[in-house]
Amino acid sequence: AASPAPSWVILGSVPRVLSAADANADLPPGPGAADFSLALPAPPRVALLTIPPRIFPCRTTPENFPSVLAADPSAGLLLLHADQGRATGPTIIDTPGHQEFSWRPLVAGYFVLDAAAASALPLPKPELIAHPGHLGLVASPVGEGYMVAELQPFLGGDTAYLLRFSSQVGEWVSKSVGYPLPARPLSPNGVVACSGRLWWVDLSWCLLTCDPFADAPALDVVPLPDGKALKSKEAWGLLDKYRCVGVSAGKLRFVDMYRNRNSNGAAQISVWTLADYP
């Protein structure tokens, strides 16, 4: 009998990309074929997502590689960023409230992966996504389906756009929402799904949360624990090595690792759990 799946796993954020020869052997193309594979070893071993070149056709480099942006384990869903090769022309966006003509070096690609079906759904119009670090995925808390959403704030503004893709609708819809934070860049430290909501994480400042399924989504601010907020851009690019926000046992938790100056520099790990919200 097969071993039962572990109750939790450590998922590597950078998938393995098969060569064309390996892809034909391990993930055969064609209708009904698996789009990816995902082994789930018991922790502390790292689970690794494997994708074929038809999902990521580029050569993997330190500057261009696929990455898992978000996950909702409650539904076995992953959100994958995988660019689709060099751009051969300009990016043109012409939607109500958003017109853009720009040159981007790569053709963006985003996929929703369903672990149960081993299927990868490419999201339409990936050029509408402004920053993958503000893109999240959450399963519907009632019934089937999911929502992919990106928060697009404007520095100094009191409104932001919430760009939403519903699996039930099948297209992107942009919604203006009130933005409750003062003028300061929101660090793109990822988006977490918990309790049917999305949580935009700034490891130096706070969390923003909303119900993306609501007809009129409203953003709420959840501050970090006392004494943990930093100045704007303080430890920029380093905090994700020492801090994280994630879900454990159904609860949202903030983890901070630091050096204790009173214990010969020994590492200290503190964990805070958010009380039931709201």
pLDDT higher than threshold 80 for residue 154: yes
Give residue 262's pLDDT.
Answer: 63
Give residue 263's pLDDT.
Answer: 60
pTM of the model: 0.92
pLDDT higher than threshold 90 for residue 19: no
> Could you give the angle at the alpha carbon of 135 between the alpha carbons of 219 and 206, nearest 5°?
45
Nearest to 34 by CA among 52, 11, 53: 52
Q: What is the mean pLDDT of the chain?
A: 91
The pLDDT tens digits for 46-67 are: 999 999 999 999 999 999 999 9
Strand partners, 208: 200, 221
Average pLDDT over residues 215-223: 97
Average pLDDT over residues 131-143: 95
